[in-house]
Structure 1
Amino acid sequence: MISLKPRWRSTLEKHRAKSARTERSGSVRLRIVAWTFLLTSFIITGLIFTVREILISDVGRGANSSTESEIGEFRNFAQIGVNPQTARPFETLEDMLGSYVTRQYTGYKEQVIGLTPHQIIFLEEQDHYALTTGYRLHQDQALLTGLRENPSNSGIEQTPAGPVHWGKVAVELRTDQGTTTGHLLVLEYIQPELDAVQHTVFIMIWVGVAGLAFTLLVSWLIATQITKPIRNLRQVAEHINDKNFSGRVTVKGDDDVAAMSHTFNKMLDRLEEATLTERQFMDEVSHELRTPITIVRGHLELMERTEEQEQTLLLVDDELERMGRIVSDLLTLAKSERPDFVQPHPTEVSELMISLDSKVQVFANHRWIIADIAEGEVGLDEQRITQAMLQLAANAAQYSPSGSAITIGSEFYGQGGERQLKLWVQDRGPGVSPEDASILFERFRRNNAKNPATAKQHSMGAGLGLAIVRSIAEAHGGGVWIAAPEDGPGSIFGISLPAPSPPKKTQSITATYPPQNEPEKS
């Protein structure tokens, strides 16, 4: 059995593979959604960071403003220098700072502390806060000493309760006993507000994620709607080939995409008109040329020939024969464009192969061998497939040395609906180069690696035989291929035809009791 390993693919298979790669390379919708996702993510991220910085900055400005306001209020109080309870001047610095501190209602986030050389003055409620939070600055002697000795009048300190904005004002009290110097500290605990900011940012992040998901959904729907005309155009273009220009794109609206679709339809109209003209011209020319060629050849056969005229008339007769074959091939290619070019019907493959074996024997000077015979019925046009296989056989005979063995065969490949029938001819010629293999089934193309013994036969062809083979295969919904044999030089030319497996028939057995052929027992 011959192992078929395709080395090069036909032009049609390359085109289909390229189309598949293009289709997998990406979607315009995905690119639109991806760019929308990136842009929206950038905007949302920038917005969240901007709002976070603004809120944190507001917290700092609020703390500074509150500290400055408290210090300004104390300066006015110290400038008056009168105890509100006795309406008399303060006698000690402790009385002044204690009177001011006890009159403040600072709450949880603020603390006012009076510092004298011998005493720390604070509200008793601050001790309750210290028990709750585990820390209050009036209990931190080291930090109080540092703030008292700090040359700056304001700043931010990191504490176990978080960052603290502080402001400091020095105060002097002159009495008869002398001058006493102290300080008033105003503290703003901003960690609660920072926690509120973080909570707000956390909410914004979740809202941003939800908004991003909604944006992706909306952008996908919008991109789908925008690219729908482009997808329709691509689908129509995929079904357009050299035999079918009937597809048209539905045009809606008056935008740029609609204009592109309208232009595409006009292009298809021109291509269809040009193709119909070409087909009609090919058909008419082929018909018109066959008659005068036949008449000329008939008159040449009736002419009396002298020895001097014999060589010239033989040359003319050979050229007329070649022209007749070219015209016949052109007529076949013209007919291949018609929907009734092939008329499939159930055909037994084994009988087709036996018939082919008897017909290829006409190509003398070669040994013809049947390698494999597939058995089963396939829906195909027996005459057209025979024509294609005989063309492959003639091609193999032209390129193979005289007396060499040429093999034909068939086999089923695949299962179920994907099953195919492969028919092939293996020659012993010089082989096919990759450059020739890619274009060998196109019209007016011939293999450059000729057999010198059959050079005259090569020159008689026009390079339409393999194009006819491809047209017949494609009309059946199949394709053509070239493979390299594993057991020596040469090439394998073949065609693949769809041959789905017939559904398996199930048998049902109906049992009766008692059996009708046995008498009932009484």
Structure 2
Amino acid sequence: MDRQSSVIKKTPQRRGLSLKWKWALGSVAGVFLIFIIFTWFVMQAFATQMMDTEKQQVSSSLNAVTNRLEHINESQMLPAEIDKLLRPDSTNFDQVVNDPVLQQIARKDYTVRVYNENGAQIYPEKGAKIAFHETKKRVIKTERVQGVKMLVGREELRDDNHQIIGHVTVENHLTGYHKTFNRVYAIIAILIVLGLFLIALWGYWLSGFFLRPIDNIKKTVDTINRDPQAQVRVVNEERTPDELTDLSNLLNTMLDRMQRFILQQHQFVEDVSHELRTPVAIVKGHMELLNRWGKDDPKVLDESITASLKEISRMEVLVSEMLDLTRADQVELTFRDGDTDAQELINGIYTNFKMIHPDFTFLIDDDLKGPTIVNMNRDHLEQILIILSDNAVKYSQERKEIHFAASRSGNVVELAVQDFGEGINPEDASHVFDRFYRVDKARSRKQGGNGLGLSIAQKLVEGYGGHIQLESAIGQGSIFRITLPIKQKDQN
């Protein structure tokens, strides 16, 4: 492998706003936008309603003025006459207060203008003269008069004979309207500022409450970063299940797996160092013997070379088995799915071993009704059955008989390999799946065993979610049973 490709680049560290502040500011921005849109629609409806009210008041003013002036003739269209009609001189206070015309025209934000038939302004006599706009019917609309936006109502003025003698204009400067809206806008602005402040505080507190598991995750990761073998995990007992709980559980599972792989790596190195020490020492001893004087003795030379080659071959087998064991440890990562017909495979193993060992009697009890698909790589299941079958042959020296069995129970399939050899006592049976464990070390070494086969089989089976167990009795033999889940698509 290229040296550069094996270098792990350090992940760049970037810091920004914390998630709490992002949550708080995002909540403020979202609520502010929603509030502005909602306020805009409410204010539009409120403005329309208020403008309708102002138009009704202008219309009432037009009615009051035209009704008061409808009995005059063209010759009475004089400022004094009009003022006398609109502002009657009365000593009766109640009459003055309850006069509808005075109620309308006495308002500071109202101006009443009267024009003659020719469009000349005759009332009020003093003050600014506003240009005349002729109209055939009553019109009430907003206009700009001398740069000021106001509500203007216009209507023809007729005498008793319904002859046009002039025009009346009522100007509503909308002072009260604008004051009301300025007050409402000020209240809304204060509410917005206060509301955003309170929402920001609430969002910050709420984000801190909901994101509390993130702090626990960070503390756990920091601890693991300092000590990869630290037995700390994210605790979620007090929380109801949610996405962060799922994330915490996923992290805990990942840490369990990571630490298991680290332990497996350390154990691999220790096991290899331990197991290779003896053959290396033997080879070294023979080489030193040959270096001193043995190379001149053909008999010693032949014995040393033969022993060294034997130990080298054993080391080669040992390294190969150790690599198989390492791959078996990681099978759940590298092989997630598989489609293997358990019935076809166990029958194939049965047929092959009958051919390889003609001096043995092989029997098979197949209760599977047709193809039975399990979620396992075919090579792995075949390797497991070969390991179990080889062990059965090795330890069946007197009664050379091997039984295979296959059956189904619910959603699992059970495969079994039985021998009638020496059997294993309970103390040894509890350790047969340990690495490098050998019941009879001298005999196992003579037969070429390293004590790794059953460890490889167990790792492979458990890596695919299965289970392997041993039933054994001294003098009666052993049965290895494998239980594997059946894929749901299988309809047997």
Q: TM-score, normalised on structure 1?
A: 0.46
Higher relative contact order (CA 8 A, sep 6+): 1
Q: TM-score, normalised on structure 2?
A: 0.48
